[in-house]
Structure 1
Amino acid sequence: MPGCGTISELPESLLTEILSYLPTKHSVTTSALSRRWKNLWLGVPALDLNCDDFLPYSYREDEAVLRFLDRFLEFNPDLRLLKVKVKYGSVGLKDRISTVIQRGPQHLDVEGLTYYKDMPLNLYTSRTLVSLTITYSGLEDPGLVYMPCLKSMTLVKPLFRDDECLERLVSGCPVLEELTLVRDTHSSYVGEVDSFVRVRSGSLKRFRVPLWYEEEYCTSRFAKYAIEIDAPRLEHMTLGEDQFDSIAVKNLDSLFRVDLDIKFGGFKLGEFFVPEDSSERKNFGHLFLSGILSVRHMIISEKTVEALHLYSDVGLIPKFISLTRLEAVFPCILSQFLPVFLECCPNLKHLILEVVGLRWTEEAFELTNVPECFLSTLECVELKRICYWKEAEIKVATYFLENAAVLKKLTLSLLNSPRYVSDEEIFEEVNKVTKRSPRCQILPDWDSC
């Protein structure tokens, strides 16, 4: 457009900031634009480097990577690197990462590919890091740990040198708010040095142990371990990995949301693991369930429902007095357990329910017991992913309509898939049910409660 300049006319500080949002390999290519751009990428306050990018151009990847990093780090020794992301293979970068940390980064993401390379010791005393992600790297005994600004830490399959390493690492981060831990359940070290994990923090608000599934390892052995969580300010907790001998939780009075995809005992050769000693299972459930009674929003998977059903055979499920929102996936064969579990949620207001296994299982069941929340608090129910509209789904929908006294909305979330009954016929059938709550609306789509 007339009167408009080119990007090259922008100040150098603005250009380097723009380049900081690109992977380093792309910012390097701008050096071919003109003489002004030749060394501009060397002043970018960020490094996003994937060492695999050197493979097509060099048979000696290690030397090429090291030369590149040395040039980048030596060109402007006073340049502060705010964001650093490095993905490397067999090349040893411990000394270079140490230099990077001296440049005062706020965000550091280091991912190894083949070996557990140790991190430099000055990592553990960084006074600038705000977020830290370490993948496939060794965490040796750091001695003193003090990272006063670190708020978010993600550890993906780290190699801990002893059982206390994680506890020391977390304890040395006084403002840490978010911790994600993915444990390497297939490592030859597993069970030797990380059989017990303790997370103790006075600042932690979000804690995640997600499942990291890799198909090639699906038949490998799984080493189980114990975990203890002591975090009085914790608000959100996600447990997706299932290799727990036990889970002990303490001081979770601030817990708002918990997302559970665990079986209280894990897998054993691909099958559901049930301890032979029922007292062991009872103790497991008691330690964990009694520690999360303050939760207000709970999400439970199909296998967690199975685990709770098994636990109910050996011990009473405690009442979740504070729970107002529940999202659950119930196997059809455990439909009889639904009223039992809802009886443990006396103040439940919102229920999002998915019933699975209908295609293969058509066992007869009756829902007769009416939980306490049906009479006083349950206002919104969503039945998710309705596919076939078989007898089981009809029974569940009818159960809520006929018994929930204060129900305001029943939402049927229908999948867009072939079925013998049309959407119109489904809603016509449901609307014929005698509703205990006259003001209840039956909705075809989710309408936020």
Structure 2
Amino acid sequence: MPWRDRISELPECLITKILSYLPTKHSVKTSVLSTRWKNLWLTVPSLLLNCHDFPYRQDEVILSFLDRLLEFDPDSRLLKVKVECGGSEDIDGLRDRISTVIQRGPQHLDVESFTEYRDDDDDNFLYPFIDYIPLSLYTSRTLVSLTLTYSGLQDPGLVYMPCLKSMTLVKVHFLHAADLEKLVSGCPALEDLTLIRNMNPIYADEKVMRVRSRSLKRFRVPFSHGKRCRSSVKYTLEIDAPVLERMTLGEDHYDIIMVKNLTSLFTVDLGIKFVVEFGVFFYPGDLPKRNEIRYFLSGISSVKHMIISDKTVKAFELYSNVGMIPKFNNLSRLEAVFPFKLLQFLPAFLECCPNLKHLILEVYYSREMEDAFELTDVPQCFLSTLECVQLKRIHEWEEEEMKVATYFLENAAVLKKLTLSLTNYPRYVSDEEIFEEVNKVTKRSPACHILPDWGLCE
């Protein structure tokens, strides 16, 4: 059977749809296939451009390329646009092209800009040059999703993006702190917001960041900095979102966190330690920080599903020594990572969850710890609601692990299922021996089923 070019036989609209999923540099290469393909890349309804793909990053070549694309059919729409030009050099004229792109009515816009520090010869001072997003962005009536990285957001004046549902701001420079609040408030359909703080702010004005929205359902401050998460400027994050359903605070980007009107909160994922300064937990005698934690916990007390890291557990334990953790009466599912030395705090924390049904617990055991521990207190949920417990990342199955499993089997009166998630790492004790030991305890709790979770943990 002779070879046939079946792709070229497809309708043009379908070909351009396929090309829209490729980086623009790859769709341009198809222009050499045949006469029919010569200009097809110019009609693709997406622009996925990385300025570093151009040889030596020649500014005039980049601008000429964009001009050809934008002038080929001025009435066509670019539905998806991603432009990556992060680096150390400004491309004079690129901002005007981005403005033209925005005016072409994209639905999805992703722009990575840059911040350049230039030397002023007069006073030998490095001052920032910030690549600001064109003002036409703030009144786009077509954008559905927006991602900005390293960009500058100046005072937008009027903000109205009626279709925007998802926004991600990564290390963005705000001319004024109030600009974030104005930006969010001008997006009446916004449901998803991700905010990664710029740890090197240019303006000292950037101190209080307010997220106020009547439509926001998901808010994330993801883990991104690790040990580099430090700044000389103190930030306060204020969240006021009455229909917010899921909130993730994955890192201590902010020195103070305030929450208001989170009456619809369903899931909260916490990886924070309520930092005082980089790498330091708060001192229990610090009254302002104690009040901050108290108000924060009260503000999320209606949550139904909570995920907490070992850092957050430590912060809660420190706070419990000087303040009372509120009752989480609606909490039915808890996922927690407990350091071994904080296991004594587990019953006290579970006492604050009187209606807990599902518990997923991961314990970091330290073989260097010689202090014995006893879990004796029985929280209220053990007697009435706790039905399912999963113990994650069990490795050696030594005395400590056995104590934790026995604690639930002997005291959780309505427990129906205990799941053991065993690691795949080589261990001295076989899976069969582990379940044989657990089943000895199960005989005293015949209503509970012990289940393995094979291969869950790597």
Fold similarity call, TM over 0.5 = yes
Q: Residue type matched to 2:202 in 1?
A: Y
Aligned CA distance change for structure 1 residues 416 and 13 (closer, same or farther; 3 Å) = same
Note if contact 2:238-2:259 (Cα within 8 Å) is conserved in structure 1. Answer: yes
1:164 aligns with one of 175, 178, 192 = 178
> What are the superposed Cα offsets for residues 148-204 of structure 1, whole Å, 9 maximum, x if unpaired?
00000000000011110100000000010000000021x1527x1221111100000
Q: CA deviation at 1:214?
A: 6.2
Whether the aligned pair in 2 keeps the contact of 1:386 and 1:412 (CA below 8 Å) is yes
What secondary structure does 2:255 align onto? strand
Counterpart Cα distance in 2 of 1:424 and 1:60: 61
Match of 1:179, SS? strand
- Cα distance 1:434–1:3, how it changes in 2: closer, same or farther (>3 A)? closer
SS at match of 1:74: helix
**What's the counterpart of residue 59 of structure 2?**
62
Partner SS, residue 392 of structure 2: strand
Q: What amino acid maps onto 1:228 in structure 2?
A: E
Label 1:446 to 1:315 Cα distance change in 2 as closer, same or farther (>3 A): farther
- CA distance in 1: counterparts of 2:284 and 2:95, whole angstroms: 47
Matched letter for residue 176 of structure 2: D
SS of 1:8's partner is coil
State the Cα distance separating 1:60 from its structure 2 match: 5.2
Q: How far 1:438 moved relative to its partner?
A: 2.3
Matched residue SS, 1:234: coil
Match of 2:83 in 1: 86
2:202 corresponds to which residue?
Answer: 189
**One-letter identity of the residue aligned with 1:353:** L
- Is the contact made by 1:156 and 1:181 (CA closer than 8 Å) also made in structure 2? yes
Structure 2 Cα separation of the partners of residues 267 and 354 of structure 1: 27
What's 1:152 paired with?
166
Please list the CA deviations of residues 251-278 of structure 1 after superposition, one character each: whole Å capped at 9, or x if unmatched.
111100000000012543xx32324743
Q: Please name the residue that 2:346 is paired with.
A: 338
Which secondary structure state, in structure 2, belongs to the residue aligned with residue 189 of structure 1? coil
Match of 1:380 in 2: 388
1:363 partnered with 2:371: yes
Inter-partner Cα distance in structure 1 for 2:349 and 2:226: 33
| Amino acid aligned to 1:210 | P
The corresponding residue for 2:358 is 350
Native 8 Å contact 1:281 1:311 kept in 2 = no
In the alignment, the residues of structure 2 paired with residue 20 and residue 100 of structure 1 have an alpha-carbon distance, to the nearest angstrom, of 16
Q: Is the 8 A contact 1:301 1:328 kept in 2?
A: yes
In structure 2, relative to structure 1, the CA distance for the partners of 1:160 and 1:446 (3 Å cut) is farther
The answer (yes or no) to whether the contact 2:173–2:201 under 8 Å persists in 1 is no
Aligned 1:217-296 pairs, distance under 5 A: 217=228, 221=231, 223-265=233-275, 267-268=277-278, 271-275=279-283, 277-296=285-304
Number of the residue aligned with 1:173: 187
Say which SS state the counterpart of residue 290 (structure 1) adopts.
Answer: helix
1:418 Cα deviation after fit: 2.2
SS at match of 1:95: helix
In the alignment, the residues of structure 1 paired with residue 268 and residue 378 of structure 2 have an alpha-carbon distance, to the nearest angstrom, of 25
Percent identity reads 69
**Distance in 2 of aligned mates of 1:46 and 1:337:** 54
**1:427 corresponding residue in structure 2:** 435
Q: Matched residues in 1 for 2:152 and 2:81: separation?
A: 19
What residue number does 2:124 align with?
none
Shift of 1:447: 12
CA contact (8 A) 2:340 2:364 kept: yes
Unaligned runs of 5+ in 1: none
Opposite residue 171 of structure 1, the aligned amino acid is S
CA separation of 1:243/1:41 partners in 2, compared to 1, >3 Å: closer, same or farther? Answer: closer
Tell whether 2:112 aligns with 1:111: yes
Task: State the one-letter code of the partner of 1:239.
Answer: L
Tell me if 1:23 matches 2:23. yes
Asked if structure 2 preserves the Cα contact closer than 8 Å seen for 1:119 and 1:137, the reply is: yes
Q: What's the counterpart of residue 11 of structure 2?
A: 11
Number of positions where the alignment pairs a residue of Structure 1 with one of Structure 2: 439
Give the counterpart of 2:144 among 130, 151, 154: 130
Deviation at 1:388, TM superposition (A): 1.7
Which of residues 317, 323, 326 in structure 2 aligns to 1:315?
323
What's 1:139 paired with? 153
Paired amino acid for 2:222: P
1:287 Cα deviation from its structure 2 partner = 1.1
Contact map agreement 1:408 1:439 (CA 8 A) in 2: yes
**Closer, same or farther: CA 67–325 of 1 in aligned 2, 3 Å:** same
Query: What amino acid maps onto 1:161 in structure 2?
Result: L
State the match for 2:415 in structure 1.
407
Q: Which runs of 5+ in 2 are unaligned?
A: 117-129
Q: Does 1:302 align with 2:310?
A: yes
Question: Does 2:332 correspond to 1:328?
Answer: no
1:425 and 1:74 map into 2 onto residues whose CA distance is: 72
Q: Distance in 2 between matches of 1:267 and 1:415?
A: 35
Aligned residue in 2 for 1:95 = 96
Greater Cα shift, 373-382 or 235-244: 235-244
The 1:435/1:334 distance shift into structure 2, 3 A limit, reads farther
SS of the residue 1:31 aligns to: helix
Shift of 1:223: 3.6
Q: What does residue 453 of structure 2 align with?
A: 445
Is the Cα contact below 8 Å between 1:196 and 1:225 reproduced in 2? yes
**Alpha-carbon contact 1:411-1:447 (below 8 Å) kept:** no
Kept in 2: contact 1:156–1:182 (CA 8 A):
yes
Q: What code does the residue aligned with 1:225 have?
A: Y
CA shift for structure 1 position 393: 1.2
Is 1:101–1:122's contact at 8 Å kept on the other side of the alignment?
yes
Bigger mean CA offset, 222-231 vs 76-85: 222-231
Q: How far is 1:416 from its partner?
A: 1.1
Q: Deviations over 1:198-237 (max 9, x none)?
A: 110000000001121266x46x645431111110100000
